[in-house]
Chain A
Amino acid sequence: MNGSHSRDRILSRLRQAPSAASRAPANPLSPVHGDPTRFRQLARDNHIHCEHCDEVTQGLQRIRQWMQEQELPSAPVVSGPLLSDARAAGWEPGPLSDLRRPHSVWINQSWCAVADTGTLVVLSRPEAPGYANFLAEHHWLLLDAGRILATKNDVWAQWRVEHDDTLPPAVHIISGPSRTADIEQTLQLGAHGPRSLNLMLVGR
């Protein structure tokens, strides 16, 4: 049997069912901002470590200090747009392939956040491919404090305001470090992805 034959048969069977479609509600037009205090509270409940800084370079310096406190090797991998800031902070970040090593640290930008669920939204881009967010052992995300939205639907509304309808190859909605409860229902952080997820809120 060939694929197009199957395609036609499946679609024609589906078309035989009565269709009483109620139209999807129109997409909301303008995104609504969320409550930062609620966002931080829920992010902490999701096991996200939260810090705050006034500007990006200062945030990167604080991350550097955190890495020393954790006794992690000194070269993190930094996503494209943050590279120049990282260099300004006195770092020479490693290549993406360093993420395969134990104790790797990935520093990336969060596109926006959702207050309702304490969630961060990360876009996959050619210079910061999605896998980096899952391969690193420790994950830091920098978020512009003005980009905390109210709900998940506001994320799509915000996208439509800033871009056209075409989304990037992947959008990752991240609500904490990797975890599993597959053995005896006991929660363990760091199943396959990052053992820690850390947020640096930048600005007010």
Chain B
Amino acid sequence: MMRYQANAFKRQANKALQDTTLQQALDRAQTGFVARRAKALELVDDFEHLKQQARAAKERALSEAAYLLERFECQVTANGGRVHWALDGAELNRTVIDICRQAGGRRIIKGKSMVGEETGLNPALEAAGFELVETDLGEYIIQLAQEPPSHIIAPAIHKTRHQVADLFARHHRQPPRTGDSIANLVAEARQQLRAQFLSADVGIIGANLLVAETGSVVLVTNEGNGDLSANLPRTRIVVASIEKIVATLEDANAVLEVLGRSATGQAMTAYTSFYQGPVQDDAAGSPQSYHVVLLDNGRSDLLAGPYRDILRCIKCGACLNHCPVYSNVGGHAYGSVYPGPMGSVLEPLLHELASTRPLPNASSFCGRCEEVCPMGIPLPRLLRQLRDRQHEQQLEPQGWRRGLGIYGWLSRHPRCFRLTLKLLRGALWLVPPPFWGQGRRPLRPAGRGTFVEQWHRASRNER
């Protein structure tokens, strides 16, 4: 499993800011995602209306989550599959390992799954003796690099083509490539993974949605790797968290209307599959064995509380792509599975608040995340609630708490506040630029007098 290092955010962020290769990759990624989403939204008459419908669909589902999950289970069973329930990550991993053992296979192919990342499924399977290959190109790249994903929909966004070419050269036993063009790299990965698809015993996939009325697992992809993983092996395992449930096929469509546009700027991704039951194949004879493992991991506790809104998240990644913090430091700096604004809310709720201290503070509260979130999740409000909780539990560093105490006192004593501002302004002139730290601009007081003095002067002049 990735090492959980959320509390080292500051150090990791500083490192990321000085990594020029990473900065180039992030620049490219951010402009690409943001521009494509903007273009996709331009083509829709009323995106706000689509957002409202998607949000309503998810709210309906959360309001009757228990009933809908039971209905989903019933339908999957009727369609020839089996539903398993996991209270936490360890139980999900154990369940998946048991199914793989019963399947009698050793080779596993896997489609992209953030739930699998959350539970550390890959290392658990490898420790149990299974051979596992990630088949989403981005996931495959980071599996070779032995790194965690840095984005929820584009896991290898931090890698350049040359880094990918080096990785492939080290891991693929084949004659050297002619040139590092992206087309060549994609073709090479295709060739390598083809053999894996055709020989795997078990396929594990994630789910974008679960539909109660039909027992459907909805899988949204562009590469087709998820569908190959779901269909070719004799055993299919779907891992999904419980908040993926929606009531009807129409409700699933409502979410799909906003998912592709917000994620990759596509009205529809290349493949959206609704899986009701195991593969039926005249050529194969016996039916495929089909399992869905549902993960709670603390989500059911969130439903009745003040953080319920985050359960509407459809993992589109728009809040990451538009976040000034994420776009500058990238996903690895967060040291957690889910990065960016949605991760800064979800991670402290899934883990201890104390082990994710910097995350709710890794935000400038510019509000961009809430603006672009297709599910209307009030991310800044949720982050503020978490900050309040941290304060109540006295989790901030001593220096910070003391500083806040001083600021609180000063703001209740305006004269002292103004005097302190004056002193600090004078002190700023005395600090030589090198002390402002590497890569930061020395801040110089602007204009005549403190900000408050300048403000009063300007107001008088206006009058």
Q: Which of A1, A126, A168 contacts B87 (CB 8 A)?
A: A1
Measured CB to CB, the nearest residue on chain B to A116 is B267
- Which stretch in B157-165, B390-398, B404-412, B420-428 binds the other chain? B157-165
Which B residues lie within 8 Å of A3 (CB)?
Answer: 84-86, 95
Which of A19-27, A51-59, A60-68, A141-149 forms part of the interface with chain B?
A: A19-27
Q: In whole angstroms, what is the CA distance A10 to B65 when docked?
A: 10
Q: Are B273 and A191 in contact (CB under 8 A)?
A: no
B279 within 8 A of partner (CB): yes
Q: List 17 A-B contacts (CB under 8 A).
A: A3-B95, A13-B300, A14-B66, A46-B268, A131-B228, A134-B227, A134-B271, A170-B273, A180-B137, A181-B32, A182-B155, A182-B156, A183-B161, A183-B182, A184-B28, A191-B186, A191-B189
Which of A20, A185, A186 is close to B63, meaning CB atoms less than 8 Å apart? A20
A77 to B337, CA, bound (A): 43
Closest B residue to A194 by beta carbon equals B224
Instruction: Determine whether the beta carbon of B222 is less than 8 Å from that of A180.
Output: yes
Q: Does B344 have its Cβ within 8 Å of any Cβ on chain A?
A: no
> Are the C-beta atoms of B275 and A169 separated by less than 8 Å?
yes
Given contacts A13-B303, A14-B303, A174-B270, 8 further A-B contacts (CB under 8 A): A10-B69, A10-B87, A46-B268, A46-B270, A178-B270, A179-B223, A183-B161, A192-B190
Binary B-proximity of A124-136 (CB < 8 A = 1, otherwise 0): 1111011101110
Residues of B within 8 A of A (CB): 25, 28-29, 32-33, 56-57, 59-60, 62-66, 69-70, 79, 84-87, 91, 95, 135-138, 141, 154-157, 159-161, 164, 182-183, 185-187, 189-190, 193-194, 197-198, 213-214, 216, 222-225, 227-228, 231-232, 242, 247-251, 253, 256-257, 264, 266-284, 294, 296, 300-301, 303-304, 308
**A residues 1-29 touching B (CB-CB < 8 Å):** 1, 3-4, 6-7, 9-25, 27-28
A42 nearest CB across to chain B (Å): 8
Min Cβ gap A196→B in Å is 12
**Which residues of chain A come closer than 8 Å to B283, judged between CB atoms?**
95-97, 129
In the complex, A56→B144 CA distance in Å? Answer: 47
> Is A109 part of the contact surface with B, judged by Cβ < 8 Å?
no
Q: Given contacts A100-B198, A134-B224, are A190 and B66 in contact (CB under 8 A)?
A: no
Assess A193 versus B268: contact at CB under 8 Å? Given A14-B65, A96-B283, A185-B32: no
Query: A178 — nearest CB in chain B belongs to which residue?
Result: B224
Q: Is the CB of A13 within 8 A of B224?
A: no
Contact surface of A with B, Cβ cutoff 8 Å: 1, 3-4, 6-7, 9-25, 27-28, 42, 46, 95-97, 100, 116-117, 119, 124-127, 129-131, 133-135, 151-153, 156, 165-186, 188, 190-194
Q: Which of B60, B136, B161, B228 contacts A135 (CB 8 A)?
A: B228
Q: Are A15 and B164 in contact (CB under 8 A)?
A: no
User: How far in angstroms is the closest Cβ of chain A from B172?
Assistant: 15
Q: Are B271 and A193 in contact (CB under 8 A)?
A: yes
Q: Please, which residue of chain A has its CB at the minimum distance from the CB of B271?
A: A174
Complexed CA–CA distance, A30 and B213 (Å): 19
Q: Nearest Cβ distance between residue A73 and chain B, in whole angstroms? A: 18
Across chains A and B, which 9 residue pairs bring their CB atoms closest together, nearest first? A193-B224, A131-B231, A13-B300, A191-B223, A17-B304, A182-B138, A7-B85, A17-B303, A185-B32
B278, closest chain A residue (CB): A169
- Known A10-B296, A119-B268; judge A188-B183 contact (CB<8 A): yes
| Interchain CB contact under 8 A, A179 and B28 | no
Q: How far is the CB of A20 from chain B (nearest CB, A)?
A: 6
- Tell me the nearest residue of chain A to B59, going by C-beta: A22
Residue among A126, A153, A182 making CB contact with B280, cutoff 8 Å: A126
Cross-chain contact of A167 among B160, B248, B276, B280 (Cβ < 8 A): B276
The contact of B64 among A21, A127, A134, by CB within 8 Å, is A21
Chain A residue nearest to B298 (CB atoms) is A13
> Which residues of A are found within 8 Å of B281, using beta-carbon distances?
96, 126, 129, 131
Q: Quick check: A25 and B268 within 8 Å, CB to CB?
A: no
Closest CB of chain B to A172's CB: distance in Å? 5
In the complex formed, the residue of A with least CB distance to B98 is A3
- List of A residues within 8 angstroms of B273 by Cβ: 130, 170-173
Q: Is B268 touching A180 in the complex (CB atoms < 8 A)?
A: no
Q: Is the CB of A176 within 8 A of B274?
A: no
Q: Which residue of A lies closest to B257 (CB)?
A: A152
B169 to chain A, nearest CB (A): 15
Q: Are B227 and A193 in contact (CB under 8 A)?
A: yes
Chain B residues positioned under 8 Å from A7 (CB to CB): 85
Return B240 CB to nearest CB of chain A, in Å. Answer: 13
Query: Could you tell me the distance between the alpha carbons of A12 and B85 in the complex, rounded to whole angstroms?
Result: 13
B63 to chain A: which residues have CB within 8 Å? Answer: 19-22
Q: Could you tell me if A191 and B275 are in contact, using CB atoms closer than 8 angstroms?
A: no
**Inter-chain contact B182/A184, CB cutoff 8 Å:** yes
Select the residue from B84, B164, B186, B275 with max chain A CB neighbours within 10 A: B186
In the assembly, what is the distance between CA of A153 and CA of B59, in Å?
A: 19
Residue pair A131, B85 in contact (C-beta under 8 Å): no
Contacts of B294 in A (CB 8 A): 10
* Contact call B250/A156, Cβ cutoff below 8 A: yes
Q: Cβ of A17: which chain B residues have Cβ within 8 Å of it?
A: 62, 65, 303-304, 308
User: Taking A14-B303, A184-B25 as contacts, is the C-beta distance between A153 and B250 under 8 angstroms?
Assistant: yes
Contacts of B161 in A (CB 8 A): 183-184
Chain B nearest Cβ from A182, distance in angstroms: 4
Known: A10-B300, A130-B279, A134-B224. A183 touches B159 (CB 8 A): yes
Q: In the bound complex, how far is the Cα of B276 from the Cα of A4, in angstroms? A: 23
A168 to B214, CA, bound (A): 10
Shortest distance from the beta carbon of A155 to any chain B beta carbon, whole Å: 9
**CA gap between A174 and B156 in the complex, in Å:** 25
Q: B66 — which chain A residues lie within 8 A by C-beta?
A: 11-12, 14-15
Residue of chain B at shortest CB distance from A168 = B276
Report the bound CA distance from A95 to B56 in whole Å: 46
